[in-house]
Each structure stands twice: as structure tokens, then as C-alpha cells.
Amino acid sequence: MEKPFSQACENNKRPILHVLERAFANTKRVLEVGSGTGQHAVFFAEHLPHLHWHCSDQAVNHAGIAAWLMASSVDNIEPPVSFTVGVDHFPQTAGAGSFDGVFSANTAHIMQKAEIQSLMSMIAENLPHKGVFCQYGPFTQNGEFSSQSNLDFHQSLLARGYGGYRDIDELKTWAPSLQLQKVHTMPANNLLLEWHKN
């Protein structure tokens, strides 16, 4: 199978890595929710050799993720497990211990409100004390869009049946045991939200 390719992943992988190098410095096992093409997984696992990267996504995307994994020589990455929010239980590690890190990119605005609410709750429930959740994508702050292009994209998402942008304050209410430690400003009007488990 030919590897799927996302130009957005190619564009944002290095700015995201710059944040993850610090945020996941003491992390051992990271679950990626929504691995998509698999590009992020291979790149981050290669550049964060101290941790084990675990892929997850809907089954329809597994073949593409597997193609990226097979083409790489990275050995600290696990094949994707099926995870559809609202259908499946939160994934668990095969070995001892739980995930002490979670990463997700460009998923919150695709999911419906009930789905992202459920995901936030599951992450808050399953992360151990001092666990870290890094959440990348476009968000609103205090109900405000950061640019006209973000507002236009939000409206196009709604028109196509997706959930649209979520506000940061809204996310906080769904995961009260997660503390938003830092909001990192990223290229292309995106943010990376760095949550820590109390």
C-alpha cells in the first residue's frame, strides 16, 4: 500500500516536536489518539527515543498507519489499535503500567461535541498523577476566533457535519482534574494545549 500523506502533518511536525521534547521529557508511554496517516507517529517516535509511542485510530486508517511504520526503522512505536470515541473503551498498554502521556492532533474540531467531551473525560480518568496530555489544533479562546480564516474553517466544518471548533474554557469543564499548564501558540493559527493531571 502506498503511504498516505498529509501536507499539514509535514508542515507542523517540527513545531509540535519542539513542544513535545519538553512536555514529554519524563514520559515513558504515549497514546496517540487519532494517528491519521501515521506521519506524526513515526516522526515523533524517531525524535523522542526515550518513550514508547502507541498509535490508535479507527480501523479504516490502520493500513495507512501500518505502511508508515513498515517503511521506518523506528523500534519504539506500536501498531495502531482500534479506538473510536463513543464506541470503544480507552486503550490500555499491553505491558505493565499505564499511558503517562496522550497526544492528539486535529481531532477536537472533527468530533461531535459529545465525542470530544467523552474523550476529555476518558483522558482525565485514565492518565496517572502528573500525566501529560498534549492537544494540538485550532481552538477558540473566550469564544473568540483568532482569525477570519479560522472562523471560515469552523463554518465549513459545521456545514460538512463535523463538530467544529471547541472553546478552551469548554474543554476545561469536561476534564476538571486536568490543569491547562500552558497554551503554546503554533503556526497557521493553531495552538497546542499542554494539560497536566493533578
Q: Summarize pLDDT for 91-106 with one digit per residue, the tens.
A: 988 665 689 999 999 9
Can you tell me the distance from the alpha carbon of 142 to that of 183, in angstroms, rounded to the nearest whole number?
A: 13
The whole-number pLDDT of residue 98 equals 86
The whole-number pLDDT of residue 15 equals 98
pLDDT tens figures, 2-17: 899 999 999 999 999 9
The whole-number pLDDT of residue 182 equals 98
In the chain, the domains with their CATH numbers are 7-187 (3.40.50.150)
Nearest to 61 by CA among 36, 98, 28, 25: 36
Can you tell me the distance from the alpha carbon of 86 to that of 96, in angstroms, rounded to the nearest whole number?
A: 26
pLDDT tens figures, 12-32: 999 999 999 999 999 999 999
> 23: buried, middle or exposed (CB in 10 Å: 19+, 13-18, 0-12)?
buried
Can you tell me the distance from the alpha carbon of 23 to that of 3, in angstroms, rounded to the nearest whole number?
A: 29
Who's near 43: CB < 8 A, 6+ residues apart? 13, 17
pTM of the model: 0.96
Average pLDDT, the chain: 95
Grid coordinates given for 61: 486508517
pLDDT exceeds 90 at position 76? yes
